[in-house]
């Protein structure tokens, strides 16, 4: 099976994005709270999947959480503390572009945490997630899986493309030689954190377009029935007969029309 073409992808994506919009109306109408975690290897396509969801949702109620490395102060806090402030309130959706699982992945493999911190994390995370679910939060965890050969192709593409070069960090470069180590780390935390209340869902991300479609379809079909009666919208007629032109009388500098 070859890589999905853009035309076919767009055909399948549009109805899913319409459903996403309906889903957000349900979240706001019901006061539901949703947390979606996107984890996986570098270049696996987490960001693209997040973008295809977030681009059709109201950013006031759908937040993308992509935290940078912790500050010295945050390093001294309870590990989950800096993530808690980004959890959704009623009617909101939080999309975590990497999450608290950094401790069991990047930090474990790259030696950024101690063995004691790692062990404590594995003991606490199932309890922490159970608390979220028990409080009514819908928690969905996705792992985007990509083969090493495909990962190397995407790294090379990012090096050549100036629009994508920002996606490569020194950590990404250092991690290239640790593919097997990341596999072992993933298997270890899956064993502990794949629970009945918060299971892991693995997405085959070797074809990024298919991965997005499959992930979004699964997300939508995993949620309860989210149909909300349509609100009838009508635009009342303008009272003025002449329509004003926005640029007339402007005081600022007008950008030249080159296109």
CATH of the domain at 200: 3.40.50.300
Number of separate domains in the chain:
1
More confident residue, 227 or 187: 187
Is residue 217, in this structure, part of any structural domain at all? Answer: yes
Greatest CA separation found in the chain?
73
Q: Domain range holding 120? A: 31-222
Q: Is residue 122 part of a domain?
A: yes
Tell whether 232 is covered by a domain.
no
Q: Considering the entire predicted model, what is its pTM?
A: 0.89
89 inside domain? yes
- The per-residue pLDDT for 228 is 79
pLDDT tens, 149-171? 999 998 888 888 888 888 787 87
* Residue-averaged pLDDT of the chain: 92
pLDDT in tens, 90-104: 999 999 999 999 999
Does any domain span residue 120? Answer: yes
pLDDT at position 107 is 95
Q: What's the pLDDT at 251?
A: 74
Q: In this predicted structure, what is the pLDDT of residue 244?
A: 67
Domain assignment of residue 229, yes or no: no
177 or 19: whose pLDDT is higher? Answer: 19
13-65 pLDDT, tens digit per residue, is: 999 999 999 999 999 999 999 999 999 998 999 999 999 999 999 999 999 99
Please indicate, yes or no, if residue 103 is contained in any of the structural domains: yes
Strands lying side by side in the sheet with 200-204: 62-65, 92-97, 33-40, 138-145, 200-204
175 occurs within a structural domain: yes
pLDDT of residue 240: 67
State in Å, rounded, how far the first CA of the chain is from the last one.
40
Supply the pLDDT for residue 64. Answer: 98
Q: What is the pLDDT of residue 103?
A: 97
| Per-residue model confidence as pLDDT tens digits over 104-154 | 999 999 999 999 999 999 999 999 999 999 999 999 999 999 999 999 998
* pLDDT of 201 over the 90 cut: yes
């Amino acid at each position: 099976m070859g890589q999905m073409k853009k035309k076919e992808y767009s055909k399948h994506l549009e109805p899913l994005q319409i459903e996403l919009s309906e889903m957000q109306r349900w979240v706001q109408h019901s006061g539901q709270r949703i947390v979606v975690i996107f984890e996986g290897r570098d270049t696996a396509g987490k960001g693209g999947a997040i973008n295809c969801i977030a681009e059709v949702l109201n950013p006031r109620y759908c937040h993308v959480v992509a935290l940078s490395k912790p500050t010295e102060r945050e390093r001294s806090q309870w590990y989950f503390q800096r993530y808690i402030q980004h959890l959704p309130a009623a009617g909101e959706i939080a999309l975590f572009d990497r999450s608290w699982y950094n401790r069991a992945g990047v930090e474990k493999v790259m030696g950024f945490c101690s063995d004691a911190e790692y062990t404590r994390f594995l003991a606490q995370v199932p309890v922490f997630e159970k608390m979220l679910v028990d409080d009514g939060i819908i928690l969905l965890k996705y792992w985007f899986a990509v083969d090493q050969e495909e990962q190397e192709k995407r790294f090379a593409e990012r090096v050549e493309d100036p629009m994508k070069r920002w996606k490569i960090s020194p950590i990404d470069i250092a991690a290239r030689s640790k593919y097997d180590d990341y596999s072992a780390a993933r298997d270890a935390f899956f064993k502990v954190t794949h629970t009945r209340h918060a299971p892991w869902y693995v997405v085959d991300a070797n074809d990024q377009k298919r991965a997005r479609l499959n992930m979004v379809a699964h997300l939508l079909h995993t949620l309860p029935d989210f149909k909300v009666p349509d609100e009838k919208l009508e635009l009342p007629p303008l009272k003025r007969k002449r329509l004003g032109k926005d640029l007339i009388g402007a005081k600022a500098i007008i950008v030249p029309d080159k296109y």
